[in-house]
Amino acid sequence: MTINQPPPMPAHQINPEDESHLHLLSVFHFVMGGLYTLGIGFIALHFFFMRMIMMMPQTPRTSTPVGIPTTPPPPVVPPEIMNLMLVFYILAALIIVSLATGNILAGVWLRRRVQHNLTFVIAAINCAFFPFGSMLGVFTIIVLQRPTVKMTYAANTRI
């Protein structure tokens, strides 16, 4: 007795489960990109508050008679330290911008079913950012490793 097997799936078609998983992953990559973009604003806000606090002059410990002009006290932190902090804040902002750009591009690539390897790399980088990046990265890697998804990506690169 022979079992009726369904015909093999063409390379350009994808089953509905993989389709919905890829769609959800693309949405979540867009969300992560948006969260990273909000992180850029947090970095800027943090820098300005830290600068305001650290550049505040020291309050004098002794009281001076009214009417006698005094020289303003020096800031708490030397300007060289603030310049060094600025470099670290700029580096952090550049890293966050690259993470946001990578996640947004991964979302676009997941929708178009192109750039399999680059999407995989971005998913692997996301694994370093616990907890949401780790979950998104692991689930993206799992879905990208499915043979049907690989066939779909291969069919889209030939077009």
Residues 88 and 42: their CA atoms lie apart, in Å, by 14
Q: Please report whether residue 71 resides in a domain.
A: no
Tell whether the model's pLDDT for residue 3 goes beyond 70.
no
Residues 147 and 155: their CA atoms lie apart, in Å, by 12
Structural domains in the chain (count): 1
Q: What's the mean pLDDT in 100-111?
A: 97
Q: What's the mean pLDDT in 63-80?
A: 69
Q: Please report whether residue 36 resides in a domain.
A: yes
34's tokens: 């948006």
- Closest by CA position to 142, among listed 108, 109, 119: 119
Q: Please report whether residue 69 resides in a domain.
A: no
Lowest-pLDDT choice from 8-12, 111-115, 138-142:
8-12
Confidence of residue 11 (pLDDT cuts 50, 70, 90): very low
Q: Please report whether residue 33 resides in a domain.
A: yes
pTM of the model: 0.78
- Closest by CA position to 100, among listed 124, 128, 131, 122: 122
Q: Please report whether residue 37 resides in a domain.
A: yes
Share of the chain above pLDDT 70, in %: 79
Q: Please report whether residue 144 resides in a domain.
A: yes
Q: Please report whether residue 68 resides in a domain.
A: no
Q: Can you spell out the DSSP letters for 17-64?
A: HHHHHHHHHHHHHHHHHHHHHHHHHHHHHHHHHHHHHHTSBPPPSS--
Q: Please report whether residue 7 resides in a domain.
A: no
Domain hosting residue 87, numbered range: 16-55+76-158
